[in-house]
Amino acid sequence: MTKQRIIVSKKVPHECLAPYEADFDFTLPEDGDRLSYEYILERIAEFDGFFAIDAKVDKRVLDAAKKLKAVANFGVGYDRIDWKYATELGIPVLNTPTTVTEATAEFTIALIMAVMRGIPRYNNQVRQNIWDAPLFSDVNTMVGVSTLGIIGLGRIGKSVCRKAQGLGMKVVYYDKFRASEEIEKEYNVVYKPFDEILAQSDCIAVHVPYLPENNHMFNAETFAKMKPSAYFVNTARGKLMDEAALCRALKNGVIKGAALDVFEQEPKVYEELLSLDNVVLTPHVASLTMHSRMAMCDEALSGLTSVLKGRIPRNVVNPTVFGK
């Protein structure tokens, strides 16, 4: 019996594919790290499944994919996939909603600690033989007595909440869909309107998906509503913020600092941000541990192969294709 074929847009360790090789044939990059958009567009018609890792899956690709039964995205956010058009075509789109949670939340807390306590700044100074250790200074902020405002109380937001409370932080949150009274009680977290979160928080952590209506939800007006002593941390999606407006806010003292793992035009970063010492910058690596990345592969491939075997996976983002 001919095996169904799956195309994988970037190289992954063989251990990720091994559990599935008995039933499926995989095509991966042979030269270089990734398959080009042009290669995918030219060859996608041959495949039953698409494991999309940092790959654009637009209308052109979906129209060319004559046999395609499912697309699995590597990560929670699937904004590079035209999932609405895929839904029209009856193609399930899957993501990895659970396996990134703890690693991303952990990294968010690390960024909060790093920017509020100035760790990268001190690291850079000591490496330049600068010993800047005054007896009294307000350049840093104590984390444990601060209020964290979480924007988006999903899986990652909840995990960040728990970890922040473990440091002594008071946590408030805003979500377009307010959590139940039971969840708020379980997490000891208080709901507040968006503008109140901005005005009252010492640090804002963003954990919402990117949708067109969320584009630049953090902009010049938003930053102006925050405390001058507040920090902004984004490990969600770059297009949720206006990088130019954030840069102005950081330069002009509108807010005290920021920590960013995501950017509007990755891998490009708004150039002026690079010269500021009150912003911590990392290259979209919040989920980057071998443990979490291997688990992400398995969650994506488990869902993808389930569809190819005629089953309905739990990690489908457009369940209406199954009549649900």
User: Which residues have a catalytic role annotated?
Assistant: 237, 266, 284
Greatest Cα-to-Cα distance within the chain, rounded to the nearest angstrom: 75
Residue 141 near residue 119, CB atoms below 8 Å = no
> Is 267 in contact with 274 (CB distance < 8 Å)?
no
CA distances from 217 to 36, 198, 203 (A): 32, 12, 16
Residue 234: which of 253, 209, 212 has the closest Cα? 209
H/E stretch holding 112: helix 101-117
Query: Quick check: 168 and 191 in contact, CB under 8 A?
Result: no
Helix axes 155-166 and 101-117, enclosed angle (nearest 10): 50
- The Cα 108–Cα 259 span in angstroms is 9
How are beta strands 4-8 and 279-281 bridged, if at all?
Answer: unpaired
* Cβ-contact 83, 113 below 8 angstroms: no
Backbone dihedral angles phi then psi of residue 102, each to the nearest 5 degrees: -70, -40
